[in-house]
Every structure is written in structure tokens, then in C-alpha cells.
Amino acid sequence: MFDNLDELEKKYIELTKNISDPKVIANQDEWRKMMKEQSDLEPIIMKYREYKKYQDQLEESKELLKDPEMKELAEQEMLEAKDILPKIEEELKILLIPKDPDDDKNVICEIRAGAGGEEAALFAGTLFRMYSMYCDMKHWNLEVLNENATGLGGYKEISFMIKGKGAYSRLKYESGVHRVQRVPETESSGRIHTSTASVSVLPEVDDVEININPADVKMEVFRASGAGGQHINKTSSAVRLIHAPTGIVVECQTERSQFQNRDYAMKLLKSRLYEKEKQERDSQIDSERRSQIGNADRSEKIRTYNYPQGRITDHRIGMSIFQMENFLNGNIDEMIDNLTAADTAEKLKRNE
């Protein structure tokens, strides 16, 4: 590990020097690439330098032990170094885990009602409200791309973009099937129903990351509509894109402009294709090396919301939270923090 850290430090020093070179600065694309690489390395190098400082302190205190007048001070410094060095070493191991290249990206999120009819659609609406309130807390921007609302205020499906630094790193663990157990508002006998909604969290991708042949995409236009006749346009501004090679279909109808709807639909299509490629790459990796926390299949049941018990349980880590209202009001960081920690621990175990 430490040989690797020495090489990374040399690289960091070289990058720091190069980003000040006028020739590099003149090439903005190259300069931005180097700046990002240096920025990504900085936390590792700062932590490694802290480790080396305490390592030097340990060696110096051993020498000072030979001086009777400095013995007491030397023993204190030695104890401090011996106590903190293992902690820094563990922090370095975590920092050296390869970072998900998508972590800092914006996300496109899709929520679809599953089994349970109208109750499933209402639950999809509950999840959308939860993520909307979470975005407000994080000061992230949320834009609805497409929605298929029901008369009672739920959604058969809704897709939306979330713009904010680190959005994907926080929300990627939300992908999968969410299950709700509650008495529906439409149920007069008071029986508990079980319904589901699927959540898909996709990173927004740049043009350079996914290349689409325009000839492979068929565009259809239609008039936008919503529940109860809302948002009805007299012009055909809604856009549907069909990617012939994969059969992927995306729609956007929330904007009045056909151009804007097409732009959003293309972003969604690129993210879907990027996810498909990513899943195909992941499927080639030995299942034991994959993190089941960070790579939940979209069809896998990941979480249950049990209203009668006021309990939310994440089945991947076996964690339950008994604050239903608080959780559904967007306070989901505790669950995400624990999912992140479990994912990190699993990756550390694989790297041992």
C-alpha cells in the first residue's frame, strides 16, 4: 500500500506543477482534466502526509528516549503516534478504494408504480414527495421530465432530473423495488395492503461518454396530457424517442417546447443506455467481487415501509428506522449513511 502511496504522491506533485504551466492552461480541456485528477488525489495525499508526520514523530521519540531529560516527553509523543497511526492507516485504506466515477454527477430518477393498482400509484407519489423534500434539504434542483399522473394524486410513473454536487453518490443506493404495507385510503374494511414501486437512479451522462447514432433513434411527437385534463397542449410538443437497437423508449412532455422535451428525452435515453452498458460490464465481473449494496438489481426488493409499525426496513443491511413521518419528509440521510458505510466495508473486505 505504501509503495502505491509514494507513487501517488509523485503524481500529485507532478500534477500540481503542470496545472501552473501556461502551456497546459492554454489547453483548457487538458487543464480541467489535470485539475480534477489533482483534486481527486488531494485527500489521499494530505492523509498520507499526516501519516508520515506521525511516523517521523515515532522514530524521533525513540531517539529521544536515550536522553534522560527528554524521556518523559518522548514517551508521550511515542504513545500519541502509536495511538493515531493505525487509525490513519484505516482511513487511507478507505480513501484508496477506487471511487465511483459517476459519484459527482447529476441524476435522472424514475419511479414506477408496481403491484397494487391505485395504491401503488399513490405510493409512487409518496416516494416522489420524499425525494423532492430531500432535494430541498440538500439545496439541489429538481426538474420533472415526464409524468403519468392518476386522478387521486399518484403516479403510474414519473421521471425527474436532480442537479447537485454528489447527487448520484447519495441516491444510487435507492435503486430497486420499494414495498409499502398500509391500509389504503380507498379501503373501507381497514385491511392492510402490500404494494410496490420501483425506483431507478441513473447518472446523467456527457455526450463523450455515450455515442448514439441519430439513424438509430426514431422520434414521435404527440399532444401532452395529464390527469383530469391538466397540462393539455393544443400543439404536439410531447416527444417520444425509440432506440431501435435496444428497444428502449423514453418520453418527455412537461415542457411547452418540443425542442426542450426532445433535449430532456435525449438525456434520459443516454442515461438508460449508459446504465445498460454499465450493467453488462458488471455482469462480467465475478459475483463475489460485486457489492450487492451498491449494485442492487432494479427488480430486487430493497426496502419495506410498514405503516402500522411505523417502521422502514432496508433489507440489504437489515437496518430499521422507526420514524416513518420523519423519513417520508425527506430525512433519509441516516439510512444512506449506513448503506454507504456497509458498501465501503464490503469493498474493504474484498481488497484485503
Q: Which three cell numbers stand for residue 104?
A: 459527482
Residue 218 neighbours by CB under 8 Å, 6+ apart:
241, 242, 244
Is residue 227 assigned to a domain?
A: yes
Which element (helix H / strand E) includes 301? strand 301-306
Instruction: Taking the CA atoms of 170, 175, 176 and 180 in sequence, report the sign of the dihedral they define.
Output: positive
Is residue 291 assigned to a domain?
A: no
Is residue 120 assigned to a domain?
A: yes
Q: CA-to-CA distance for 154 and 75, rounded, in angstroms? A: 67
Residues 164 and 56 in one domain: no
Which element (helix H / strand E) includes 66? none
Residues 130 and 194 in one domain: yes
Q: CA-to-CA distance for 275 and 281, rounded, in angstroms? A: 10
* 3-state SS assignment for residue 203: strand
Instruction: Taking the CA atoms of 20, 26, 27 and 29 in sequence, report the sign of the dihedral they define.
Output: positive
Q: Which three cell numbers stand for residue 237?
A: 410538443
Which among 150, 148, 152 is positioned nearest to 253, based on CA atoms? 148
Residues 146 and 251 in one domain: no
Residues 39 and 90 in one domain: yes
Q: CA-to-CA distance for 308 and 238, rounded, in angstroms? A: 41
Phi, psi of 217 (to 5 degrees): -110, 120
HSE, side-chain direction, 13 A CA sphere, residue 16: 10
Residues 165 and 197 in one domain: yes
Neighbours of 350 (CB within 10 A): 12
Residues 161 and 199 in one domain: yes
Count of domains for the chain: 3
Q: Answer with the one of 49, 70, 95 that is the final residue of a domain.
A: 95
- Give me the domain span that covers residue 49: 2-95
Residues 196 and 222 in one domain: no
Residues 218 and 115 in one domain: no
Distance of CA 66 to the CA centre of its chain: 54
List the chain pLDDT tens, one digit each, 352 residues. Answer: 788 899 899 999 999 999 999 999 999 888 988 998 898 899 999 999 999 999 999 999 998 888 888 888 999 999 999 999 999 998 898 888 878 888 888 999 999 999 888 899 999 999 999 999 999 999 999 999 888 898 888 999 999 999 998 999 999 999 999 999 998 866 666 788 899 999 999 998 876 567 788 888 998 888 766 544 444 445 567 888 999 999 999 888 877 788 888 888 888 898 888 888 877 766 654 444 445 555 544 567 999 999 999 999 999 999 999 999 999 999 999 999 999 989 888 887 776 5
Q: Answer with the one of 95, 130, 154 that is the final residue of a domain.
A: 95
Residues 193 and 244 in one domain: no
Residues 191 and 246 in one domain: no
Is residue 290 assigned to a domain?
A: no
